[in-house]
Chain A
Amino acid sequence: MNQPNEITMHLDHALSARGASIPPETSDPVFTLDNVSVYYSDYEAIRNVTLPIGRNEITAFIGPSGCGKSTLLRSFNRMNDLIPGAHLKGTVAYHGTDIYGPNVDPIEVRRKVGMVFQKPNVFPKSIYENVAYGPKVNGTKGNLDDLVEECLTRAALWNEVKDDLKKSAYALSGGQQQRLVIARCIAVKPEVILMDEPCASLDPLATAKIEDLMVELASEYTIIIVTHNMQQAARVSDRTAFFTAELDENEIRHGRLVEFGRTRELFSSPTDPRTEDYISGRFG
């Protein structure tokens, strides 16, 4: 009756070419999550996630709305600290150091782990000043022209803006703004880039550009992306984590990690029926 095969075949087609070279197990993790639960006051938004994030890999978080993908993503750079009442149990180890441990400065964490948001949040400053912002607050002195050019080039935006660096960033299109945000992010020289539905407000052409850019950046950075777009997860990611929101024994909804593995395998032969239902479009 349903045709999961046809749809998964369709995704098969999209699967990234990089997939083949990805080892079955993460050997050199940048992050290791161990039994991580994130709470908003006493509401447990996501429960007991254990997961490695491989170096220079693109990890996709997929799952239905409200299952805690954004919540979990924001725990990688302690952005949840900014929400009153939010707290975390378990350990988020970055190269073996628990980033929620004592003597860890969240500001230092955020310099290593950058973030790109769903809505392009360029600052009301010039294009140049947007890119230079991060290095400036992080204490880089002197001429930033070269760095700005390098980052805009890496973000595939240089050719479009090189004559308008002094223009307001608000004058750019949504897709250009999102690439500017990416340039601004890599100007801080992070090791990891978190992306929360970075293409959700973009048209297909701008989306394709950002996807190309992600694959390009993965040679140098470790990327975690939250997406609602199965095709996108299949096209760009090396590994995929599938989450759902379920009622527990007390009838309270909370997010859970259902399945994690190489994108290739997760999409072509999911082990959990809930994963199969979701990626074949029968759910969520």
Chain B
Amino acid sequence: MLLEIKNLHAKIEGKEILKGINLTVNAGEVHAIMGPNGSGKSTLANVLAGHENYEVTEGEIIYKGKNLLELSPEDRAREGIFLAFQYPVELPGVSNTNFLKTAVNEIRKYRGEEEMDAVDFLQMIKEKMKIVELDQALLKRSVNEGFSGGEKKRNEIFQMAVLEPKLAILDETDSGLDIDALRIVANGVEKLRSPENSTILVTHYQRLLNYIVPDFVHVLSDGKIVKSGGKQLALELEEKGYDWIKTDAVA
């Protein structure tokens, strides 16, 4: 078992958003979390990544046998958790290359590995850029600054490819992408798929799941997982919307 979320409750600004989430993710699995806007999907993603604005009031998260909630966001990343942001942050003045190099070496340092030398690093970066078909000129630019929406999303997947996480959480990485960009993103995720690595795909469209076939689909509504199933569930949701599940849950 890679990740186990038990009865997770979380608040932001005094308002309870997550109201008892239970979810188990085993190594090698892809889980899709779907649900209407405002249901708490990004909140869950942010709590997993360790955002300080969210307060966990109840429940626990066990990751690789450790209490995840005790780890700082940077240590979570070093332990292999990666969050692809729904709205990636622009970092004017921080060059993409410097940013990635620092990240790679911070993670290596934590793992007791030596820093990567400049030549190997550049070689690796160039390989990974090909996966997401990003223009190399972007390396010199500031992180996400002036990037188009699609470039930002692809840059998240590029970072994921560079950092090679154990558990990747993709928060609506598919939203707002044209079909070509969607295919590139999906391809990037597929490349990382392995028996050791797991992925949580947060989305509210079924479209991405045509390209990345999930092992499980969960429906989040009002801070709770109200239904879980196989990939078939995503198609059902696409067809009928979320309403039938909400009433179902209440009933």
Q: Are both chains from one complex?
A: no
Residues on B facing A (Cβ under 8 Å): none
